[in-house]
């Protein structure tokens, strides 16, 4: 694996399967009364959040703490960033505090790449979502969720998603989750189809490893998982569709559409959900919707990523046992 995790496109099939398998091993911890491993004792993880987040920030914090790392949470609101401090000066401050890993979310696409290649900090950089570019740990936790549901044999360890059909629906144009998922799921062998109104399909999508459709009804009957995306109003500077009602009617998932999915197929959502827009409350609350499970899986995936980037090269749980017996 590379030293940083900036883009899902940087992961080979073997890297991705290693992360999924390590997460699988670490997920077993969640069933133990004491969830903590001593693996990253003495290491410092900084969560550097320039953009709002609920799930991702809490999840990285829980992951680092379960591995016994020291965690520093930085959010731009209420910091000197509101006084105009640059990314460089913020990074130099973190470096002075001895960060072994920096998890960064930023409204500018490319900010994590800049941090990783600038030489301002020495630690590993993990992209927790940059602008409309990428969100690789979200794609990993999504792949983990799909693998658990669709390859239940021995939790799917060692396996990829060959032949699985995954449909990603909605605001693809502004979605870093969609970009990362297209790369990762195709690397893992899945067949990905994007469904969106033509105005929300990115320019240059022909070169992406996926199919594109404008009609959800023709796709739902032939899919193993449907991933619904939030309409990202905060990134929209124009009218991309006539009305919310029209959007929900053509591209939303309601109970009727869900009933036309194959029986084993699951409904995914990265959160936050706009109930009534891309997904109805009936679907969001149904037992086919994995949104809450995705959040739980996110902790295991982020533990695996931090463990592997901070130098773990043996089985994560075995390494912890050796530490515990010292």
Strands (E), 107-252: 124-130, 165-169, 191-195, 211-213, 225-228
Could you say whether residue 197 binds ligand NCD (CB under 6 A)? no
Least separation in angstroms between residue 227's CB and ligand NCD is: 11
Could you say whether residue 176 binds ligand NCD (CB under 6 A)? yes
Could you say whether residue 138 binds ligand NCD (CB under 6 A)? yes
Q: Tokens 């991933």 belong to which residue? A: 227
Could you say whether residue 7 binds ligand NCD (CB under 6 A)? no
Segment 120-125 long-range contacts (CB within 8 Å, at least 24 positions apart) = 120/88, 120/91, 120/92, 120/95, 121/91, 121/92, 121/94, 121/95, 122/95, 123/95, 123/99, 124/3, 124/4, 124/5, 124/100, 124/309, 124/310, 125/4, 125/5, 125/6, 125/101
Least separation in angstroms between residue 92's CB and ligand NCD is: 27
Q: Distance (Å, rounded) from C-alpha 223 to C-alpha 225?
A: 6
Which positions from 41 through 80 interact with ligand NCD, judged by CB under 6 A? 55-56
Could you say whether residue 107 binds ligand NCD (CB under 6 A)? no
Instruction: Determine whether the annotation assigns residue 138 to a binding site.
Output: yes
DSSP per-residue letters across 138-171: HHHHHHHHHHHHH--GGGGTT---TT-EEEEES-
Least separation in angstroms between residue 128's CB and ligand NCD is: 8
Could you say whether residue 170 binds ligand NCD (CB under 6 A)? no
Kindly state the DSSP code that residue 279 receives in the 8-state scheme: B
If the CB atoms of residues 74 and 120 are measured against ligand NCD, the closer one turns out to be: 74
Residue, CB closest to ligand NCD: 230
Q: Distance (Å, rounded) from C-alpha 221 to C-alpha 260?
A: 6
Q: Of 66, 135, 165, 257, which lies in the binding site for ligand NCD, with binding defined by CB under 6 A?
A: 135
- Please say whether the beta carbons of 219 and 173 come within 8 A: no
> Binding-site residue total for ligand NCD (CB under 6 A)?
11
Least separation in angstroms between residue 231's CB and ligand NCD is: 8
If the CB atoms of residues 37 and 225 are measured against ligand NCD, the closer one turns out to be: 225
CA dihedral sign, ordered 88, 93, 98, 102: negative
Least separation in angstroms between residue 159's CB and ligand NCD is: 25
Instruction: Classify 74 as helix, strand or coil.
Output: strand
Could you say whether residue 145 binds ligand NCD (CB under 6 A)? no
Q: Distance (Å, rounded) from C-alpha 121 to C-alpha 98?
A: 9
- Please say whether the beta carbons of 225 and 150 come within 8 A: yes
Could you say whether residue 179 binds ligand NCD (CB under 6 A)? no
Instruction: Determine whether the annotation assigns residue 105 to a binding site.
Output: yes
Least separation in angstroms between residue 55's CB and ligand NCD is: 5
Could you say whether residue 250 binds ligand NCD (CB under 6 A)? no
If the CB atoms of residues 248 and 316 are measured against ligand NCD, the closer one turns out to be: 248
Instruction: Give the containing element (helix H, strand E) for 104.
Output: strand 101-106
Could you say whether residue 270 binds ligand NCD (CB under 6 A)? yes
Instruction: Determine whether the annotation assigns residue 56 to a binding site.
Output: yes
Could you say whether residue 271 binds ligand NCD (CB under 6 A)? yes
Binding-site entries for L-aspartate = 83, 176, 230
Binding-site entries for carbamoyl phosphate = 55-56, 105, 135, 138, 271-272
Residues forming the site for ligand NCD (CB under 6 A): 55-56, 129, 135, 138, 176-177, 230, 232, 270-271
């Amino acid at each position: 694996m590379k030293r940083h995790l900036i883009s899902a496109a940087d992961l080979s099939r073997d890297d991705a399967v290693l992360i999924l398998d390590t997460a699988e091993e670490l997920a077993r911890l969640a069933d133990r009364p004491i969830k903590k491993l001593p693996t990253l004792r003495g290491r410092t993880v900084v969560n550097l959040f320039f953009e709002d987040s609920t799930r991702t920030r809490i999840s990285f914090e829980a992951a680092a703490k379960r591995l016994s790392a020291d965690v520093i949470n930085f959010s731009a609101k209420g910091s000197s960033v509101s006084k105009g401090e640059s990314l460089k000066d913020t990074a130099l401050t973190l470096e002075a505090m001895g960060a072994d890993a920096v998890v960064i979310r930023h409204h500018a696409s490319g900010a994590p790449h800049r941090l990783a290649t600038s030489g301002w900090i020495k630690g590993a950089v993990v992209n927790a979502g940059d602008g409309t570019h990428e969100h690789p740990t979200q794609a990993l936790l999504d792949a983990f969720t799909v693998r658990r549901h669709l390859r239940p044999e021995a939790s799917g360890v060692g396996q990829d998603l060959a032949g699985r059909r995954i449909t990603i629906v909605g605001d693809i144009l502004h979605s870093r989750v969609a970009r990362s998922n297209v790369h990762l799921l195709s690397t893992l062998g899945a067949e990905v189809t994007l469904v969106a109104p033509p105005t929300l399909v990115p320019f240059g999508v022909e070169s992406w490893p996926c199919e594109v459709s404008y009609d959800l009804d023709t796709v739902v009957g032939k899919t193993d998982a449907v991933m619904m995306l939030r309409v990202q109003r905060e990134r929209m500077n124009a009218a991309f569709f006539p009305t919310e009602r029209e959007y929900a009617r053509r591209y939303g998932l309601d109970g009727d559409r869900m009933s036309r999915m194959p029986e084993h197929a699951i409904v995914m959502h990265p959160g936050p959900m706009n109930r009534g827009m891309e997904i109805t409350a009936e679907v969001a609350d149904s037992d086919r919707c994995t949104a809450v499970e995705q959040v739980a899986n996110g902790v295991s995936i982020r533990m695996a990523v931090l463990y592997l980037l901070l130098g773990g090269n043996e089985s994560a749980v075995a390494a912890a046992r050796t530490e515990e017996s010292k």
